[in-house]
Amino acid sequence: MTRDRILTAAAVGILLAFLWFADRTFSAYSIRILNTIAIFSIVAVTYNLINGVTGQFSLGPNAFIAIGSYTSALLTLSPQEKAASFIIDPIVWPLSVISVSFPVSLIAAGVLAGLIAFLISVPVFRVRGDYLAIVTLGFGEVMQVITNNAVSITNGPLGLKGLYPHTTLWWSWGLCIFTIICTVRLVNSSYGRAMKAVREDETAAEAMGIDAFWTKTLAFTFSAFFAGVAGGLLAHLITTISPSLFTFFLTFNLLIIIVVGGLGSTTGALIGAVLFAWGGEALRVVEEPFTLFGYDLPGIPGMRMVIFSAILILTMIFARSGIMGRREFSWQAAIDLGSTLLQRIRRT
């Protein structure tokens, strides 16, 4: 146990040193990718909690990210900026005068997203399986319609512009580490075991005295809270948000992340998020003009999503457990793996 703690602390230390190094030397583009990885990791790890660990197939994280983004953005913009950007309809009263600091706005984003998740869990968890998927998908669509139409709150399709880029590597990765610690501790607690029991067999879990409804609500609210925080980070990373950012497409990306990483594995969700954010950038080459064996090929816009969709389908058909399955990273396993590899190298 002590050894694992030391190793974890060392790993976090190395990560922080790397971030410090990256912060000073990397290009703005690379830093942006690192930030994106952290934000995707926050959402993926907590989305996996509801979809993978608790086994409730939600398709609504885009709604909670949207709630978080808008809450945080509306709270950090100054009253003058808000008055200037709301040109169709003036902004409603309390929002028009409030302006708070970035950390407070992030907490508010998480709390509001979590609160809404808590409130809708009563109707949502009346249904199961694919009906649950459709209801949460429907919630996402309703949220989309609201952000487009509640012009005096969200500024409609124009969105919010000119946010201060508060999201630095320290904010995004700091919160990412915090999220991972919270999620891992939750999964390993008795609540986490209850969530797994509900996933395996809801009736049996209830017979053992687990309140399935509260367990699901806990996972759902927890997941929405961090999706909201991640939304706030995202808004202050890209500095311009509009409803079109938070369509079902966003959920689809998260779904690829957790399925490819392995549904039910926090480690898998992390690996998936890193692969997705990095791979998404690396695959940009297929959408730009490129030269292959002396031929000039035009770029194909949209090709990346074709590749991602194909990866999702192929993963489901041929490798349904993804990269990690339901296994988690542990130092013991890593050491064992390392020593077997060493032995093999020595033998040859």
Partner 1 sequence: MDTAFVIQQLIFGITLGCLYSLIAIGYTMVYGVIRLINFAHGDLLMVAAYIGFFGIVIYHLPWPVAFGISILLTAALGILIDRGAYKPLRDSPRISALITAIGVSFLLENLGIVIIGGRPKSFPRPSLFEGDLQFDQLILPYLSLWVLGITVMLLTLVLLIVHRTRVGMAMRALSRDFETVRLMGVDVDRVISFTFVLGSSLAAVGGIFWCMKYPAVEPFMGVIPGLKAFVAAVLGGIGSVSGAALGGLLLGLAEVLIVAIQPEWSGYRDAVAFTILIAILLTRPTGIMGEELPK
- For 156, residues 6+ apart whose C-beta sits below 8 A from its C-beta are 88, 89, 147, 148, 149, 150, 243
* Angle at 235 (CA atoms; ends 229, 236), nearest 5 degrees: 95
The answer to whether residue 127 forms part of the interface with partner 1 (CB under 8 A) is: yes
In the complex with partner 1, the residue whose CB is nearer, 167 or 202, is 202
Report the residue from 7, 12, 15, 316 that binds partner 1 according to the rule CB under 8 A. Answer: 316
Query: Quick one: tokens of 168?
Result: 């630095």
In the complex with partner 1, the residue whose CB is nearer, 123 or 165, is 123
Region 256-275 residues binding partner 1, contact defined as CB under 8 A: 259
The answer to whether residue 292 forms part of the interface with partner 1 (CB under 8 A) is: no
The answer to whether residue 177 forms part of the interface with partner 1 (CB under 8 A) is: no
Within 10 angstroms of residue 245's Cβ, the number of other Cβ atoms is: 19
The answer to whether residue 312 forms part of the interface with partner 1 (CB under 8 A) is: yes
Q: Are 155 and 85 in contact (CB under 8 A)?
A: yes
In the complex with partner 1, the residue whose CB is nearer, 33 or 305, is 305
- For 236, residues 6+ apart whose C-beta sits below 8 A from its C-beta are 72, 73, 76, 102, 163, 164, 165, 166, 167
The answer to whether residue 57 forms part of the interface with partner 1 (CB under 8 A) is: yes
Report the residue from 146, 153, 274, 323 that binds partner 1 according to the rule CB under 8 A. Answer: 146
Q: Which stretch binds partner 1 (CB under 8 A): 21-29, 66-74, 100-108, 310-318?
A: 310-318
> In angstroms, what is the minimal distance from the CB of 40 to partner 1?
18
Q: Which stretch binds partner 1 (CB under 8 A): 109-117, 162-170, 211-219, 294-302?
A: 294-302
Report the residue from 1, 28, 207, 317 that binds partner 1 according to the rule CB under 8 A. Answer: 317
Query: Quick one: tokens of 341?
Result: 């590899």
Largest distance between two CA atoms of the chain: 74
From the list 243, 263, 273, 44, the residue with the least C-alpha distance to 157 is 243
The answer to whether residue 134 forms part of the interface with partner 1 (CB under 8 A) is: yes
HSE, CB side, 13 Å, CA atoms: give it for residue 87: 7
Region 183-242 residues binding partner 1, contact defined as CB under 8 A: none
Cα(101)–Cα(332) distance, rounded to whole angstroms?
A: 42
Report the residue from 22, 98, 115, 133 that binds partner 1 according to the rule CB under 8 A. Answer: 133
Within 10 angstroms of residue 344's Cβ, the number of other Cβ atoms is: 9
The answer to whether residue 285 forms part of the interface with partner 1 (CB under 8 A) is: no
> In angstroms, what is the minimal distance from the CB of 318 to partner 1?
8
Report the residue from 103, 301, 335, 343 that binds partner 1 according to the rule CB under 8 A. Answer: 301
Q: How far is CA 315 from CA 52, 309, 319, in A?
A: 16, 10, 5
88: which strand partners?
A: none
> In angstroms, what is the minimal distance from the CB of 94 to partner 1?
23
The answer to whether residue 141 forms part of the interface with partner 1 (CB under 8 A) is: yes
Report the residue from 118, 213, 252, 278 that binds partner 1 according to the rule CB under 8 A. Answer: 252
Cα(52)–Cα(199) distance, rounded to whole angstroms?
A: 8
Report the residue from 83, 88, 297, 310 that binds partner 1 according to the rule CB under 8 A. Answer: 310
Q: Under rule CB under 8 A, how many of the chain's residues touch partner 1?
A: 37
- For 119, residues 6+ apart whose C-beta sits below 8 A from its C-beta are none
> In angstroms, what is the minimal distance from the CB of 242 to partner 1?
15
What is 277-306 written as a DSSP string? HHHHHHGGGGGS-EEETTEEE---TTHHHH
Residues that bind partner 1 (CB under 8 A): 57, 123, 126-127, 129-131, 133-135, 137-139, 141-142, 145-146, 148-149, 248, 252, 255, 259, 300-303, 305-306, 308-310, 312-313, 316-317, 320
